[in-house]
Structure 1
Amino acid sequence: MLAEQTLTTLKGVGEKQLEKFHRLGLHTVQDLLFHLPLRYQDKTKLTPFSNLFVGQEALVEGEIISHHLTQSRNTSLLVKIIDTEGKILTCRFFHFHYRQAQQFKRGQMLRAYGEVRSGPTGLEMVHPTYQLFAADTTPELENTLTPIYPTTEGLGQPSLLKLMKQAVVLLKQYPLEEGIPPDLLKSMQLPGINQALLTLHQPQPDDDLFQIKQFEHPAQKRLILEELMTSQMSLLLMRQTEKKYAAPVFTLGTKSRSLLDNLPFELTQAQQRVLKEIQQDLAQPHPMQRLVQGDVGSGKTVIAALAALQAAEAGYQVAIMAPTEILAEQHRNHFIEWLIPLGINVAWLNGRMKAAEKRLMLSKMTSGEAQVIIGTHALFQESVEFNQLGLVIIDEQHRFGVHQRLALHAKGKSETDDSLATESHPHQLIMTATPIPRTLAMTAYGDLDLSVIDELPPGRKPIETAVLSNAKRLEVMEHLVAQCTQGVQAYWVCPLIEESELLHAQAAEVTAQQFKDNWPDLRVGLIHGRLKGEEKAAVMNAFQQHELDLLVATTVIEVGVNVPNSSLMIIENAERLGLAQLHQLRGRVGRGSKQSHCVLLYQPPLSETGKARLNIMRETNDGFRIAEEDLKLRGPGEILGTRQTGGIQFRIADLKRDQDWIATAKHLAENFLQSATKDQIETLQMRWHGYRLEYQRA
């Protein structure tokens, strides 16, 4: 019932208020009950002034002995109160109305709650919440801890508290269905769903606040487990549903063997294993849903080309979507080199094409003449239609939003009647060079089969990494020039395009000019995000042809750039970049047989996190170890790109904090699905995913 009851049934919620709740993702009374407190205030007991300490939040009470305005530049109102022991505390207000100032009168009693600070004349509270009352009337203390909720503009804590009290009354009248089997809860010593919610919305003074603060209270564990279990269950259901759809069957043709025979290198054992898994998937009558993880330089592109070839040879179209034009262009160059000699038509679509050129390309795609189409975000625009899309390949998929991935996938759907088995979906191959820790992959991509290319091509030497202070910058520049005169090609990466004193970051434009001014014989190229596509392509092409010795760039070169002759990478202001980004940038070198080097320049002083990050880079080239450390330092939202892209978000669970629960949650979800009814499944999904169910197909 509470899952269907809208918030307007609560007293005090009108249409205007409703909009504010929708901003928080709250639509029903059940949603409100799962909008859990950030922290708690203890207003159940008064603290004597003599027991207060700086930094403590406390409820105090005293008689007003004086109130006056300070005559400083920023006028403030000071209200002094005295307690029964004769100790004095000051309440300070910087922002106040003159009528508010007139409320405070000598002899009145004041009860205040706030953080204790050290002031010019002793302990004080700045802008406490307060209550005035006469000496002969003492207001009752709260009998539960006061929760503080996440809020939004125009929706204050007092309003939320009143509404939450109404919601809790309704919860007691109409308890929620239990989501986890009672015997399991008993064995794990966890409370039921209703008791857990009551505890967290109205914790009693004897509840362990420290446990709650550490997210170790049984009530929190109960909710975390159910949320993770529901997430795993939804992924399993997505996987089951996708397997019910039809998909075109691509048997292995002769052209794959031809391509393999003509490659100037042998596939590694890992590449062969992953290729076999993909080829078997494509030969099935239901859609492939496979994620290929491979560290930088492990050879994912050739695997994608072989998958595309299998689909194209069967008479179907392939769409390959890359997040940047540089990466898309690199793919196009490889695919043209590998596929056109085999009679496969490779096409290209991007957002900067001239109108006539774009019209021609779209007509080739609609007619089916274009077999393998490579592009950026332009591929999923409404005007784009395919003739018979059989395979979608998405590279660096975490860079795309959920809706963008769905839009491209939808272009390959076709149906002949209402049954699942006759609705045809394209096969999906998702690739990433960002190694993802196992627990995170289980949660974010649990609906996908996982393949890992865990081996680099033979002859590759580990990149040697040095960490140096910015004081050594000139020496590094001189060393780079000396290396370039001996035939080495190098990258110099700057985080910013233009100079910024504020961020202490040398800009790419300034650095490129310094090299040109001091070493006029050095052939220097400059590339950054503000260049037009044609300009970027020209610079990259010149670097690949060794017409340039040095490429000064921003992080635009993070993915997809493959120049085997380059063996020196300098990353400036390395402390400002995340581990995954540093690893990706470093992976632009070490692609040939030469010994490659990477220098991480930092601007002192380094934070503890900065030191840890750079030390990991110096210690290892293993992308999976780096990903595990990145998870510890930054959290899952950053690694997966979900902060920007509308992906997995949890109400209470935290993938960084709660990763030890994920395997248990998956096991529970598998068991639950074997015995659960459709209604039980829907109850849990609405409880935890609610109005975000449209993302289930991402």
Structure 2
Amino acid sequence: MNRRVSDTPPPPANSVLAPLLAGIESLQGVKPATAKLLARVAGGGRVIDLLFHLPESVVDRRYRPALRAVETGRVCTLLVTIMRVVPPAPGGGRGRRPWRVVVSDGTAEAELVFFSPHQVRRLEAGQDIAVSGTLERFGERLSMAHPDYLVLQARLAEIPLLDPVWPLTAGLFPSQVRSAIRAAFAVFPALPEWQDASVLAQRKWPGFEQALRTLHRPCDFPELMEGEALVGASERARARLACDDLLAQQVSMAQARRLNRLRPGRSIVSDGSLRAVALSRFGHEPTTAQTRTLAEIDADLAAPRQMTRLLQGDVGAGKTLVALLAMLGAVEAGHQAALMAPTEILARQHLATFEKLSPVPVAFLSGSVKGKARRAALASIADGTARMVIGTHALFQESVVFEDLALAVIDEQHRFGVEQRAMLGEKGHQTDVLVMTATPIPRSLLLTQWGDMLVSRLDVKPAGRKPVRTSLHALSAMDDLLAGLERALARGARIFWVCPLVSESETVDIAAAEARHHALAAHFGPDAVGLAHGQQDIALREQAIADFAAGRTRILVATTVIEVGVDIPDATVMVIEHAERFGLAQLHQLRGRVGRGQAESYCLLLHDSALGQTARRRLALLRETEDGFLIADEDFRLRGGGDLTGRRQSGLPDLRLASPLHVDMLLRLAAQDARRLVDTPPEKTPPALRARRQAVSLLLELFARAQAVRAIRAG
């Protein structure tokens, strides 16, 4: 979330970082309205946030040809004389007719074309000017439409030969960014070096300020004007800044890890009596992976420190059984345990499973539980009568008081905000936290690398789960697809049809679902097709899903509301429309809604006919594997992995300057350096490392890394 300029906290007056931590509006020549726009595009209102807003490319304006020998179609800078200014020809549509300025350098003539008279009114024949832009040839005529720069030749130095291009927002112009950046460097303080000197020398990385200057103001370095020198210098500068970003995060994670090791917990040891009853009702032996992960959880519960563990399990791996057995262990020891799910559908699915297997009663709490039932549930949770509790976001509301919450289980943890996850754990005293996800986290982003969360993986699926046959189909072949679905329905199939993700607007997505529902109902009959989406009344949506589960409807058109928490073993076909618009992990989750019974199951990925090479490769990977961890790795490289220490749940993992490639290349280096900085005992710390520790404290301030511990505790 972008911080408003007015929200920027004032920096400590005596801090060397004060000029960089000050608000952008403090820069000379930057007006308050411009500062707000800069803060919006930079993602923060501090001067350092502006400097972290790196250019996305550089326009090379060094090409200065004679017009007679110019290579058209590329950016060039010309030194020319104005021969004449030609106003628009008279007639209607004056605003659409261009002004033409005929120029010459003595070797040939060219035209400068303007559709706005603003710049032209200052021009007159005989002026010597410099222009920079893209020159095109139309027949025998050379033409440059709306030059990027036009100045008198005496001011040629104002045209940057290497011209950075920054991402902008509405109302913000490159000249304003350029001016603010220049003002920011004018107040840049001298900072100590926090990177290891041997790493800087080995990789030929520049200092922190020089790296920023290289990217924002390459013209400050004459040595970059020759040949391809800028390319290598820019790559080294970006790598150095990416390592700064990673080092700041890794140090904050190492500090969180160290503090968590010192945080006392309580030892929870179970006798297995309630678990034995649950397993007998389950009727199957746990998989080797379930047995292993439960042993890991039990060891954490028994240790005299708080547990924070992630349970990763691919679709259908059996996470719910492990969660139930872990919670029963807490109950056996005389405490309470709670499970929080992100939707009522998923919470009630867990409730149904727990009620079948649990030898102790299970309380339920959600937003739909009201009146007398709600008061009874709250009372039983508060007095400890309810030892097992399942619910939604309602569990962390202020009115919910636990008698002795010892274990909090959070399902589909990525669907909750950091604050929400933390609030549930804080309902108890020294509460152990187990978070679960069926969306595998990429190996390069496991929290064992980023913080203090241990990871258990359910990498073996229960026996009997059949693979889902996945295929790709162009939307242009819709008639053939519908004919194939008719044959499948004749064989007794039930079909999910997930509508395309049109935009970030749920309203737009629902409109697409309703249109597809109407079309399929017209084709297959209105009684055969149901509809489920997130804006429906929950009773209506659950009725639509129940009708589909019971076979009263044969096709269920839905948005991604069915991504988790829907378990219908008789559903055997999943159709995903415009699959290229979804993330790979989400497609994998949706595919997991079928293949839950004994019948052969299919997933049909519908895509645009004009599918790009990258999109085709993504969908082909899904066709070739059901390994959710492999899919998650690829998804991270393409989309980013989310924010593990803050509140952002998508995009790069709370990194300002490090790309996925930088993460792969530099994460290990930064993690090892962070451990050395944080974990080396004072008596074994050499002077150079002690100095770097002081410098790293400045690095943490620059990257706003002060609040990592609570976020890591929340999962």
Same fold (TM over 0.5): yes
Are residue 428 (structure 1) and residue 437 (structure 2) matched? no
Are residue 201 (structure 1) and residue 221 (structure 2) matched? no
SS state at 1:456 partner: coil
Q: Out of 383, 392, 395, which is 1:376 matched to?
A: 392
Contact 2:548 2:554 in 1 (8 A): yes
CA offset at residue 309 of structure 1? 1.9
Question: Which position in structure 2 is the counterpart of 1:3?
Answer: 17
Contact 1:522 1:550 in 2 (8 A): no
Once residues 641 and 480 of structure 1 are traced to their aligned partners in structure 2, the CA distance between those partners, rounded to angstroms, is 45
SS state at 2:655 partner: coil
Structure 1 gap ranges (5+): 415-423
Once residues 247 and 530 of structure 1 are traced to their aligned partners in structure 2, the CA distance between those partners, rounded to angstroms, is 42
1:514-529 mapped onto 2 (5 Å cutoff): 523-529=528-534
CA 1:344/1:682 → structure 2, altered by over 3 Å: closer, same or farther? farther
Q: Out of 239, 243, 247, which is 1:221 matched to?
A: 239
Are residue 329 (structure 1) and residue 335 (structure 2) matched? no
Are residue 689 (structure 1) and residue 684 (structure 2) matched? no
Once residues 288 and 228 of structure 1 are traced to their aligned partners in structure 2, the CA distance between those partners, rounded to angstroms, is 26
Contact 2:66 2:107 in 1 (8 A): no
CA 1:85/1:215 → structure 2, altered by over 3 Å: closer, same or farther? same
Question: Which position in structure 2 is the counterpart of 1:312?
Answer: 331
SS state at 2:699 partner: helix
Once residues 209 and 587 of structure 1 are traced to their aligned partners in structure 2, the CA distance between those partners, rounded to angstroms, is 53
CA 1:609/1:695 → structure 2, altered by over 3 Å: closer, same or farther? farther
Once residues 127 and 528 of structure 1 are traced to their aligned partners in structure 2, the CA distance between those partners, rounded to angstroms, is 48
CA offset at residue 105 of structure 1? 0.9
CA 1:280/1:95 → structure 2, altered by over 3 Å: closer, same or farther? farther
Amino acid at match of 1:184: V
Question: Which position in structure 2 is the counterpart of 1:57?
Answer: 75
Q: Out of 238, 251, 257, which is 2:276 matched to?
A: 257
Once residues 510 and 71 of structure 2 are traced to their aligned partners in structure 1, the CA distance between those partners, rounded to angstroms, is 42
1:210-289 mapped onto 2 (5 Å cutoff): 217-253=235-271, 254-289=273-308
CA 1:124/1:255 → structure 2, altered by over 3 Å: closer, same or farther? farther
Are residue 92 (structure 1) and residue 113 (structure 2) matched? yes
CA 1:334/1:48 → structure 2, altered by over 3 Å: closer, same or farther? farther
Contact 1:93 1:126 in 2 (8 A): yes
CA offset at residue 457 of structure 1? 1.0
CA offset at residue 402 of structure 1? 3.1
Deviating more after overlay: 591-600 vs 109-118? 109-118
CA 1:657/1:123 → structure 2, altered by over 3 Å: closer, same or farther? farther
CA offset at residue 435 of structure 1? 2.0
Deviation per residue, 1:382-413 (Å, 9 max, x gap): 4444443332322222223333333434444x
Contact 1:38 1:149 in 2 (8 A): yes
What's the C-alpha RMSD, in Å, of the aligned pairs?
3.7
Once residues 652 and 248 of structure 2 are traced to their aligned partners in structure 1, the CA distance between those partners, rounded to angstroms, is 15
Amino acid at match of 1:408: L
Contact 2:474 2:608 in 1 (8 A): yes
CA 1:467/1:181 → structure 2, altered by over 3 Å: closer, same or farther? closer
Are residue 343 (structure 1) and residue 348 (structure 2) matched? no
Amino acid at match of 2:579: A
Once residues 70 and 209 of structure 1 are traced to their aligned partners in structure 2, the CA distance between those partners, rounded to angstroms, is 41
Once residues 330 and 139 of structure 2 are traced to their aligned partners in structure 1, the CA distance between those partners, rounded to angstroms, is 76
Question: Which position in structure 1 is the counterpart of 2:567?
Answer: 562
Contact 1:311 1:390 in 2 (8 A): yes
Contact 1:2 1:28 in 2 (8 A): no
CA 1:429/1:497 → structure 2, altered by over 3 Å: closer, same or farther? same
1:524-563 mapped onto 2 (5 Å cutoff): 524-563=529-568
Deviation per residue, 1:192-223 (Å, 9 max, x gap): 33432333333224327867668962222221
Once residues 697 and 286 of structure 2 are traced to their aligned partners in structure 1, the CA distance between those partners, rounded to angstroms, is 46
CA 1:520/1:59 → structure 2, altered by over 3 Å: closer, same or farther? closer
CA offset at residue 463 of structure 1? 1.4
Contact 2:310 2:453 in 1 (8 A): yes
CA offset at residue 268 of structure 1? 1.1
CA 1:484/1:245 → structure 2, altered by over 3 Å: closer, same or farther? same
Are residue 490 (structure 1) and residue 508 (structure 2) matched? no
- TM-score, structure 1 normalization: 0.85
Once residues 575 and 76 of structure 1 are traced to their aligned partners in structure 2, the CA distance between those partners, rounded to angstroms, is 42
SS state at 1:393 partner: strand
Contact 1:35 1:149 in 2 (8 A): yes
Deviating more after overlay: 272-281 vs 482-491? 482-491
Contact 2:395 2:424 in 1 (8 A): yes
Once residues 363 and 533 of structure 1 are traced to their aligned partners in structure 2, the CA distance between those partners, rounded to angstroms, is 25
CA offset at residue 519 of structure 1? 5.1
Deviation per residue, 1:349-401 (Å, 9 max, x gap): 13x44455444444443444443333333334444444433323222222233
Deviation per residue, 1:556-602 (Å, 9 max, x gap): 21112222232222333333333222211111111223322222233
Deviation per residue, 1:219-261 (Å, 9 max, x gap): 2222112211221222222222223223333212321232223
Q: Out of 413, 417, 422, which is 1:401 matched to?
A: 417
Amino acid at match of 1:259: A
Once residues 125 and 443 of structure 1 are traced to their aligned partners in structure 2, the CA distance between those partners, rounded to angstroms, is 56
CA 1:128/1:335 → structure 2, altered by over 3 Å: closer, same or farther? farther
CA offset at residue 269 of structure 1? 0.9
Deviation per residue, 1:251-284 (Å, 9 max, x gap): 1232123222321222111111111111211222
Are residue 583 (structure 1) and residue 585 (structure 2) matched? no
Once residues 559 and 579 of structure 2 are traced to their aligned partners in structure 1, the CA distance between those partners, rounded to angstroms, is 12
In percent, how many aligned pairs have the same letter?
Answer: 35
Question: Which position in structure 2 is the counterpart of 1:40?
Answer: 58
- TM-score, structure 2 normalization: 0.83
Once residues 375 and 126 of structure 1 are traced to their aligned partners in structure 2, the CA distance between those partners, rounded to angstroms, is 62
CA 1:406/1:76 → structure 2, altered by over 3 Å: closer, same or farther? farther
Once residues 52 and 694 of structure 1 are traced to their aligned partners in structure 2, the CA distance between those partners, rounded to angstroms, is 60
Amino acid at match of 1:37: P
Once residues 487 and 180 of structure 2 are traced to their aligned partners in structure 1, the CA distance between those partners, rounded to angstroms, is 70
Deviating more after overlay: 317-326 vs 174-183? 317-326
SS state at 2:531 partner: strand
Question: Which position in structure 1 is the counterpart of 2:144?
Answer: 125
CA offset at residue 654 of structure 1? 0.8
CA 1:686/1:354 → structure 2, altered by over 3 Å: closer, same or farther? same
Deviating more after overlay: 611-620 vs 439-448? 439-448
Deviation per residue, 1:280-317 (Å, 9 max, x gap): 11222222111222111111111122222222333433
Amino acid at match of 1:158: S
Question: Which position in structure 2 is the counterpart of 1:300?
Answer: 319
Contact 2:501 2:581 in 1 (8 A): no
CA 1:635/1:212 → structure 2, altered by over 3 Å: closer, same or farther? farther
Question: Which position in structure 2 is the counterpart of 1:611?
Answer: 616
Contact 1:529 1:554 in 2 (8 A): yes
Contact 1:62 1:109 in 2 (8 A): yes
Question: Which position in structure 2 is the counterpart of 1:191?
Answer: 206
CA offset at residue 3 of structure 1? 1.8
Deviation per residue, 1:524-557 (Å, 9 max, x gap): 4332223211122223334444454443323221
Contact 1:512 1:552 in 2 (8 A): yes
Are residue 600 (structure 1) and residue 621 (structure 2) matched? no
CA offset at residue 441 of structure 1? 2.7
CA 1:682/1:567 → structure 2, altered by over 3 Å: closer, same or farther? same
Once residues 146 and 246 of structure 1 are traced to their aligned partners in structure 2, the CA distance between those partners, rounded to angstroms, is 55
Contact 1:467 1:602 in 2 (8 A): yes
Contact 2:99 2:117 in 1 (8 A): no
Q: Out of 671, 675, 681, which is 1:666 matched to?
A: 671
Deviation per residue, 1:109-154 (Å, 9 max, x gap): 2222334445587443333343443x7x464466874434445555
Contact 2:496 2:558 in 1 (8 A): yes
Question: Which position in structure 2 is the counterpart of 1:421?
Answer: none
Structure 2 gap ranges (5+): 1-14
CA 1:139/1:641 → structure 2, altered by over 3 Å: closer, same or farther? closer
Deviation per residue, 1:643-663 (Å, 9 max, x gap): 656983322211245422222
Are residue 158 (structure 1) and residue 175 (structure 2) matched? yes
